[in-house]
Structure 1
């Protein structure tokens, strides 16, 4: 069972300080916790950019996996895809992106000044499609390193995205090779807003609240079948408070624990659960979640 600890890292009220985040990461790594979900917002203030936090912590705690939260609001698809993939490559495929629905960004709005819709769910779906295309645009096999022919990169394998849609125009490709796990894991939340059909079509994983888990998981399974995907194609994580024993609802592949108390209490809870949790060292996030490799060759 995968277990993630949810943190909002920053200096604002109710947030976890960078120093305490490092303490929690250290305890989590020693306890065999799967990884950390890093939020991009606190209760009232923004956090430190989760991709920056993930890069910093991953350099010190390489056994953990990292879920980086980011909304569509303020994040151009190309920029976010490149940033997340950079952290993913540096961690040998231990990163996922929790893409949250929202508004646009000034870069994309300049090229699509009058989108045909303001629906955040439709925007999310298009954004997810672009991410997948960008993350597959530069296959790892394109790094040929052929000294005899003096070829470092086989650019015939690199594909432009050339996407034109209701919200975004993205040329691509990315300027670096794909992930060792195929592409970073794309995680959805806000199932009620996005709709099960969109999530089933695009997401590799989904986070559901424990209060909605039963009915939402059933709806998602139906949507997966309609999209031609199997239940094994998506990991379902149940988000709950850190109180009580760690256990996943029937049908869940893991949990995301959102503690309401401070670093010392979180560390004690992690340490107390260490004997029940074990994560193989060196696994990609996809492998840890039981997902197949997916992406460009």
Structure 2
């Protein structure tokens, strides 16, 4: 069973310091936490850039996975894909992204194909497809690095994605190879807004809030079946605040199809550490290896370009 600990790292009320995040990461690694989810805001207050915090922590705690929140707003898809893949390669495949639905960015909006396209859910779906295709546009085996023959890469294996949608036009490919886990893990955290059919088209995992746990497995399974994907292809993660005891949480896993948990504790560093101390050792978290291995989701097949 996978366990992510959700952290809002910054200097605003309700956020924890970098030093506290470092202490939680160290303790979490000792008690079986799979990784950290670093959010980009809480209570509408922005945090320190999750990719910056994650990069710092990964340099100190390399056995954990790092899931960073990134909204479509202000993030051009090519730039985000490149930045995240670089982080993923540097951590030997321990990175994922929670793609948050929102608005556009100034780079993409300057050449938006359809000015009447405004639906955040439809934008999310396009963005998610672009990310997954870009992350697979430069396969790892295309990188040769043969100094004798002066061949850096096999160009015919590197594929432009030539994406042309309502919100985005992205040619690609990326300028660096895929990672040890095939590609970074793509996570959806708002199926009610995005829609289950869009989630299962691209996502490797989905986070649901406590009130949706009872029906989430059935909705996820139905949506996956409709597109020909197996239930094992997408991890179902329940976001809980830690007030539940371990027996209740284990019952959600056995009876409601929950594959893992995101501990989103309302409190400071001490409260977070208390919940991690109480729950993580009893839930048999999976630490080490790639993030995909920790979440129990397969390495993806290649997305046709």
If the length of structure 2 is used for normalisation, what is the TM-score? 0.93
What is residue 262 of structure 2 aligned with on the other side? 256
What is residue 121 of structure 1 aligned with on the other side? 121
2:275 to 259, 269, 285: 269
Q: Is the 8 A contact 2:265 2:275 kept in 1?
A: no
2:295 to 271, 276, 289: 289
What pairs up with 1:1-297 in 2 under 5 angstroms? Answer: 1-112=1-112, 114-246=114-246, 247-248=249-250, 249=252, 250-279=256-285, 282-296=288-302
- Aligned pair count? 297
3-state DSSP of counterpart to 2:42: coil
Q: Per-residue deviation at 1:201?
A: 1.3
3-state DSSP of counterpart to 2:238: strand
Structure 1, unaligned runs of 5 or more: none
Write the distance in 2 (CA, Å) between the matches of 1:84 and 1:295: 19
3-state DSSP of counterpart to 2:151: coil
Q: Per-residue deviation at 1:272?
A: 3.4
Q: Is the 8 A contact 2:113 2:169 kept in 1?
A: no
Write the distance in 1 (CA, Å) between the matches of 2:244 and 2:220: 27
Q: Is the 8 A contact 2:236 2:259 kept in 1?
A: yes
If the length of structure 1 is used for normalisation, what is the TM-score? 0.95
Structure 2, unaligned runs of 5 or more: none
3-state DSSP of counterpart to 2:146: coil
Q: Per-residue deviation at 1:273?
A: 3.7
Q: Is the 8 A contact 1:40 1:69 kept in 2?
A: yes
**What are the superposed Cα offsets for residues 81-130 of structure 1, whole Å, 9 maximum, x if unpaired?**
11111111111101111001111000000011743321000000000110
Q: Is the 8 A contact 1:102 1:120 kept in 2?
A: yes
3-state DSSP of counterpart to 1:56: helix
Write the distance in 1 (CA, Å) between the matches of 2:228 and 2:301: 18
Write the distance in 2 (CA, Å) between the matches of 1:238 and 1:269: 15
Query: Which runs of 4 or more aligned residues in structure 1 lie more than 3 Å from their structure 2 counterparts after TM superposition?
Result: 272-275, 277-282
Write the distance in 2 (CA, Å) between the matches of 1:15 and 1:194: 27
Write the distance in 2 (CA, Å) between the matches of 1:105 and 1:113: 14
Q: Is the 8 A contact 1:204 1:234 kept in 2?
A: yes
**What are the superposed Cα offsets for residues 41-66 of structure 1, whole Å, 9 maximum, x if unpaired?**
12132001111111110000111111
Q: Is the 8 A contact 1:31 1:273 kept in 2?
A: no
